[in-house]
Amino acid sequence: MDKQNRVNAVDDEMASRLLPDTAVRALGQWWSANEAAYGDGTPGAHRVLYTPGRWAGIAPWPSRLALVTGSGDAEVSRAEVARTVAGALEREAFREALVATYVWGKGKRGTPAGSGPSTLRCILAADGLDAALSGAVATLREAGAREAYAGLLGKVPHLGPAFFTKFLYFAGLALPPAQGPAPLILDRVLAERLHHLAVAVGRETGLDPDGASVTWVWKRWNWSPHRYRIYLSFMEAAARQLAETDSWPSHARPDLLERALFGIKLPTPT
């Protein structure tokens, strides 16, 4: 069996098995500790700390974010970013929507040596940015998340999937796709969680005993559009699986699972 066939077989097995009992228990413990914050079944209360002054000179600057002339740190929640993006998309202010999602995504990680702001300046200066963002939003609504992902992959220098899926995620909250699953954030941490699950399945079934094939596709960045579709399908199905347990809210959206997986370390497969 070649590498791609091994990966396909593991994907099929994961779609059938979904989350193992150890992961269900870990996620249930996360929910027990976080129910007060996320009782509505969404991750809207998820707040990120950032330093506004580090982003001076970034434009257009969203009005819902703290003034860059201020000192110290500020916080912004997913719900606040969602409202910012929804308002920006109503005005076709795609750059403003991108800035809001990028600052939220970077958080305090954008502060050392100005790495976040300097990269964002390069992105905002890129040729074709407006067309890429507007096209992605239109494609998301008309054709779905996978196609919108494919349209942005490699399109804008320095804007990789870990950050443009944040843009797609918030755009999808404002303008849900006409078909297919809603977009979710996929970054290095989420890819590591899916890699962890896939390695266990590959080893248990003998489909990928050493994990080499699944490591080939669940890499740290630059995932294929097909891999993004596999991710979204798995997350939707896993969210339904959790909703049928007593340890997870039945009304939760798949993005609550994304938030939870980001925040826990899955038990090591035995």
pLDDT digits (tens, 9 = 90+) for 218-250: 998 999 999 999 999 999 999 999 999 999 999
Mean pLDDT of all residues belonging to the chain: 95
DSSP-assigned states of every residue in 53-66: GGGTT-SSPPTTSP
Q: What is the dihedral of CA 231, 142, 174, 50, to 10 degrees?
A: 50
Q: Give 20-49 pLDDT, tens digit per residue.
A: 999 999 999 999 999 999 999 999 999 999
Q: Which tokens hold the place of 6?
A: 């091994």
Owner of token pair 């590591």:
192
Rounded-to-integer distance, Cα 221 and Cα 22, Å: 26
Residue 96 is predicted with a pLDDT of: 98
Q: For residue 1, what pLDDT is reported?
A: 72
> In the chain, what are the domain boundaries?
3-34+187-263, 47-174
Measured CA to CA, the distance from residue 118 to residue 159 in angstroms comes to 12
